[in-house]
Structure 1
Amino acid sequence: MKQTTDYHRLAPSAEKDWVEAFVLEQRLLGVPGDRIGDALAVVESHVAESGEGAQEAFGEARAYARQTADGRKVDDLAPAWVAGVVLGLLGMLVTLAGVSPWLAGEARLEITLGWVATLVLTLAGAGALVLATETVLRLAVDRPWAGAGIVAAFFVVTVVLAVALRQPVADVPVVAVVVVGAAMLALSTALELREVLRGEVEDPILGPGETAPLRRVTGSGVLTACLMPLLTVLLVTLDWAVTALA
């Protein structure tokens, strides 16, 4: 039986909001897609036969999801994917740090304490994502404005550090900085594309008897893998335009 992408097909008799809340909680708990599908099939069987609503029969969706998850926690993120994201972010920061003085005609880049602090904060953020995946995901889902505020605060702090901590710690060729940044971006894209091709990023929700579709490269998957290089190109273009107009 071929699997379709809408998991509501597995419990059409249950309330749509209940099903969405149940699936989201199970995803946050790291339950595999096939087990989520089995649980939805059980819900559908009971609701269809009894005439009860899912809320009435099984209680609050998120509580029932935690009950049937058997104490599971969010699975570890794929190491290659995490490495790709971290390298991509660092590569973008390094490339932009080298491009600005290059466009201004400078041959060397003075690395300051603020620049080093920015890299350290970036690595710390990546570490938080890996070590506290469930907490980060719940914040993004349950309190999106708080999550957006934290991201905004991160960028504000990095700017303040860059301005306040101007003490030089090293002096390196601008070309070397740009080359290193571009290499990090290329490696990050390669790592993330490999995970997309392997299908490690996706875990489809399957009902009983359904089989996973053939793995194929989707436009959204490629776009996600290439996001950091594309953002870097956009920011470099803006930097060049500002420099040219100055």
Structure 2
Amino acid sequence: MKKNFVTILLLLSISTMFIGCGANSKIENTEEKNNIVATNTGFNDTNNNNDIIINTEMDFVKAYNNVKDLKKDAQIIVKGEVTETKSYPSDSMIITEFKLKVDKSYDNNSKVGDTLTIATAGGTVRFNEYAKYNADDPYVIERKKSKENSQNANVTMKFQDSDLIEKGKEYIIFANKQPVLEGETHKKMYCSINVGKGQFEVMTNKETNSVSLASSDDVEPNNRVINNSLKYDKDMQTFEKEINK
């Protein structure tokens, strides 16, 4: 069942988590708080467990429209496979930490063979876990008032044009060290720049050394690098040239 869009403020827990994560929002009747003004969030129930999907749109203080701009602010630029993921709730946010085993480094701060722990926004947690830190969110309040069974429900948060990080997939990540809040614990760790802007999926068929493009059924002979948030779809050779400029 579709719900009306609501406006929520992102709180201190995530306000400094990502480079350029603040917003120059055009939404009315909101106040700026720690660089992030507001997000537009819609949600709906999707299955028999009454799971909630939160689709979030965010305006950032600093825009990244190309690889060159991302490179300027990134402390690490690495390629590797995600070997592990962990998602947890924070104030008005779900965060996913993932371990990336580096098979190629484009910076001077990491090396091949490293396993890095990186954080990004979005992910899936249990409804009760999410509600613990987001009791004031309109969709949590509404769900608690309803008679729907939320005990076994999940909450999934997604950001516009950004796919959730998945174990077993290969990515190129642009990241910076930023403060992150897990529950009530503050820590500093690498975070993807502007959520999906700093996350590029490497689309490769390892068996045939080819890839099926996300937008077609054609099979291409070369690896491709996809970033839906930047509308970026180029072959690996072109991508690496852009990094090395």
Q: What is the TM-score when the length of structure 2 is the normalising length?
A: 0.30
Larger radius of gyration: 1
TM value normalised by structure 1: 0.30
The structure with the greater share of residues assigned to helix is 1
Greater share of residues in strand: 2
Bigger relative contact order, structure 1 or 2, given CA contacts below 8 A and separation 6+? 1
